Structure 1
Amino acid sequence: MTTPTTPHVPRADPHRTTPSGLLRARGLGIPFAGAPGTSNALTDVPGVQVGYVTVIDGNGPLETGRGPVRTGVTAILPRGREGLDQPCAAGTSVLNGNGEMTGTAWINEIGALTTPILLTNSHAVGACHRGAIDWLNTARPDLRDRWHTPVVAETYDGYLNDINGDHITTALARRALDAATGGAIEEGSVGGGTGMSCYGYKGGTGTASRLISHADVTYTVAVLVQANFGARRELTLAGIPLGRHLRGDDPLGAPRSPIPAGAGSVIVTVATDAPLLPGQCAALARRVPLGLARSGTTGSHFSGDLFLAFSTANPHALTSRYPTGEQAERLQSLCFVPWGDMDRLFDATVQGVEEAVADALVANTPMTGRDGHHLPALPHQQVLDLLREHHAAG
């Protein structure tokens, strides 16, 4: 079953539940620092749009090309459809390089992001790359003669999914982009996060946002995480090392698993409407591992941990071309937060990443995939009991 998901769905309390009614980490009672935005999501940054296509089909033994299938695509439009020709200041960072994020050489060269972002599984990067180009050429025929270097990032879902079966196609990548909109975002086993694991539990997609102020203006810093990393023993929530006390074995790293415990990857996108230089965006991306570390990971050798940050401010700067018909040379300028005032944005990034990982775990359900491989959901009651025991002891 292939499901395109439009995230904008009314809900009672977006900080506590997802659009489908799954509990988020705050709804479970896990405390976090910082003030979240309206939906506590990447789309709290004005103009940012997110869409999903989720593919879940079949059960039983793996038959390459037929399934079982547990995968998908997440699409991010940094400035929405209206801003496809307007670059964003951007920067990247890598914690461990056992993974792929296309388009980063050009981002690091010019300090700008000029295309959509797609997240998927490790062996679907090519289909999503081609699909993004096709979508851009259709959405903006006036850009057809330009070159495109889409950003496509991946994490490995082969424990549950028929990863070599070519189930992600260019058409599905285009559908995910078509589904992109603002508002509330579903979390857990959706989009590119469909077949992912996190700390030995069902992982996937998580998101969070924080409000900060500078010069009497309120800005948003928001993150979206595709979480597929961590060993059960490492898991930490609200600063408490719960993983070593949670009952049940970690299915990854068990004798029947081809994947070492802790292996996998994590892709994190950071967005803000605060005006930043490209180097300041890279500085935000470098803070992502601090938020991941709060969730317990030490960064596995077998993990691809890749991060991208962008700013939607300064919409008409960082362009490489003059407007049509304009021949005269000119200068460009950027407004930006002074480096000495960046700490509040660093705080917001770290806080948001920590919460987004927790959301990817909490807003989830068990999943069984190929060959009966199974990932349990985070046991909510056990987590609550351990948190209460810790606070009672403290």
Structure 2
Amino acid sequence: MSETLLVTPAGKPRARALGIPFTGNPGRFNAITDVPGVEVGYTTLISGDGKMEIGKGPVRTGVTAILPLGREGAGQAIAAGHHSFNGNGEMTGVSWLEESGALNMPILISNTHAVGPCHRGTIDWMVRNKPDVANQWMLPVAAETWDGYLNDINGPHVTSAHAVAALDAARNGAIEEGSVGGGTGMNCYAFKGGNGTASRVVNYGHRDYTVGVFLQANFGSRKELTIAGVPLGAKLADDNPIEAFAANLPAGAGSCIGIIATDAPLLPGQCKALARRVPLGLARTGTAGSHFSGDIFLAFSTANRDALNGRFPKGEPDAGAYGHIDFIPWGRMDDFYTAVVQAAEEAVVNALVANAEMIGRDGHRSPNLPHDRVVNALKTRGVIAS
């Protein structure tokens, strides 16, 4: 098995390193960056310990940047759609996305109270890198999940400069998972959570396409946790300081932001259909979808580059003033739906596995998923060979 399927660039184990089985055929990096052109960058902010003082820390947060067409393609419109499984969260820019079916901006993800600086940072970055786009209008996409258990979330620690730095850091290839970027202070199933990614290759007869999923995983109650179809919540119910904090943080609270990319040519409505499948992948890991978890998903296709642009027109329309778009027939979408579900499930488990315990504000502790106990439980059920 390829090394990139087993460990992150920093050498942290991924789910397959534990022998956890998954269905479907992953791409080279088993990441959203398997989709050609997609780049991911992080700014990670970790500082301070002890008692929280608003504005002073401790800080456990950051920014994640996803560039659908890389630096050079920023500003070019591609088909996209979003789905709000539970709207107790925020993703800016989706009103226009819903209206036009097009995305032409980078996607930034951070903590709940850092949406503003990320929005501003995207504008600053576009002004510097794509002034022609900035001279018209911009509706950046900035999304969030809540990291207030570990982080001084009300402090102004994330700045527009941090958002710009994450955009500047975006690269293709293997990407880091766990407690990095916007996922730094997040928790999942009352274990240390954060960023997870996975991909699937879909054969379409004459060629292969790739579907990649990236999650900022910050959801789920411990009792719900399921891995490879095995309910593990009861077996791992001990050492649960996060839900002991439940007077201020209801079990299952937090949120999940999911970004789905594919190089298959799709209509905006088909992108929305992909986004609607992410909850099915999350459900495989146990969650029923908490009221306190804002679960919002965005899918885009990198094909038909700039076919959906809405730039200011020049001159009068002529015989060539029409747009054209190729797309997968609706009747052949099932394999792409399956790919989203499979990759979303694995991305959650990757986010859990690629993590270590973290101590944050006021000594709040987020324990890591105990790898050995998970492996032993799966061996007992025959999911992993003894």
In structure 2, the partner of 1:236 is 226
| Residue of 22, 25, 28 corresponding to 2:18 | 28
Q: 1:127 to 1:263 in 2, by over 3 A?
A: same
Asked if residue 374 in structure 1 is aligned to residue 330 in structure 2, the reply is no
> Cα distance, 1:143 vs. partner?
2.2
Give a deviation string over 1:254-301, Cα, whole Å, max 9, x none: 157521111110000000000000000000000010000001000001
Give a deviation string over 1:54-86, Cα, whole Å, max 9, x none: 000000000111100000000000001111121
Asked if residue 74 in structure 1 is aligned to residue 64 in structure 2, the reply is yes
CA distance in 2, matches of 1:341, 1:253: 43
| Residue of 292, 302, 308 corresponding to 2:292 | 302
Q: 1:53 to 1:325 in 2, by over 3 A?
A: farther
Q: 1:343 to 1:154 in 2, by over 3 A?
A: same
Aligned-partner residue type, residue 267 of structure 1 = I
Identity of aligned residues (%): 61
Report the 3-state secondary structure (helix = DSSP H, G, I; strand = E; otherwise coil) of the residue aligned with 1:383: helix
CA distance in 1, matches of 2:44, 2:330: 40
In structure 1, the partner of 2:329 is 338
* CA-atom RMSD in angstroms: 1.8
Whether contact under 8 Å (2:21, 2:383) holds in the other structure is no
Whether contact under 8 Å (2:239, 2:367) holds in the other structure is no
CA distance in 2, matches of 1:45, 1:389: 37
Give a deviation string over 1:304-349, Cα, whole Å, max 9, x none: 0000000000113111137878964611111010111100000000
| Residue of 67, 87, 90 corresponding to 1:97 | 87
Report the 3-state secondary structure (helix = DSSP H, G, I; strand = E; otherwise coil) of the residue aligned with 2:281: helix
> Cα distance, 1:214 vs. partner?
1.2
CA distance in 2, matches of 1:49, 1:326: 37
| Residue of 161, 168, 185 corresponding to 2:151 | 161
In structure 2, the partner of 1:204 is 194
| Residue of 214, 219, 229 corresponding to 2:204 | 214
Runs of 5+ consecutive residues of structure 1 not aligned to the other structure: 1-11
Q: 1:335 to 1:215 in 2, by over 3 A?
A: farther
Report the 3-state secondary structure (helix = DSSP H, G, I; strand = E; otherwise coil) of the residue aligned with 2:4: coil
> Cα distance, 1:253 vs. partner?
2.7
Whether contact under 8 Å (2:223, 2:237) holds in the other structure is no
Report the 3-state secondary structure (helix = DSSP H, G, I; strand = E; otherwise coil) of the residue aligned with 1:19: coil
| Residue of 343, 351, 356 corresponding to 1:352 | 343
Whether contact under 8 Å (2:151, 2:361) holds in the other structure is yes
Whether contact under 8 Å (2:136, 2:311) holds in the other structure is no
Whether contact under 8 Å (2:62, 2:111) holds in the other structure is yes
Whether contact under 8 Å (2:89, 2:144) holds in the other structure is yes
Q: 1:68 to 1:94 in 2, by over 3 A?
A: same
Aligned-partner residue type, residue 75 of structure 1 = A
In structure 2, the partner of 1:317 is 307
Aligned-partner residue type, residue 370 of structure 1 = R
CA distance in 1, matches of 2:357, 2:316: 57
Asked if residue 46 in structure 1 is aligned to residue 36 in structure 2, the reply is yes
Runs of 5+ consecutive residues of structure 2 not aligned to the other structure: none
CA distance in 2, matches of 1:132, 1:321: 19
In structure 2, the partner of 1:17 is 7
CA distance in 2, matches of 1:284, 1:393: 30
CA distance in 1, matches of 2:117, 2:384: 52
CA distance in 2, matches of 1:206, 1:256: 25
In structure 2, the partner of 1:282 is 272
Asked if residue 185 in structure 1 is aligned to residue 149 in structure 2, the reply is no
In structure 2, the partner of 1:4 is none
In structure 2, the partner of 1:126 is 116
| Residue of 113, 127, 143 corresponding to 2:133 | 143
In structure 2, the partner of 1:386 is 377
CA distance in 1, matches of 2:139, 2:312: 20
Aligned-partner residue type, residue 170 of structure 2 = A
Whether contact under 8 Å (1:252, 1:260) holds in the other structure is no
In structure 1, the partner of 2:281 is 291
> Cα distance, 1:249 vs. partner?
3.6
- Larger mean CA deviation between 142-151 and 27-36 belongs to 142-151
The TM-score normalised by the length of structure 2 is 0.96
Asked if residue 84 in structure 1 is aligned to residue 74 in structure 2, the reply is yes
- Larger mean CA deviation between 223-232 and 321-330 belongs to 321-330
Q: 1:144 to 1:37 in 2, by over 3 A?
A: same
CA distance in 1, matches of 2:242, 2:349: 19
Aligned-partner residue type, residue 231 of structure 2 = P
Figure out how many residues of one structure are paired with residues of the other and give that number.
384
Q: 1:326 to 1:56 in 2, by over 3 A?
A: farther
CA distance in 2, matches of 1:288, 1:92: 11
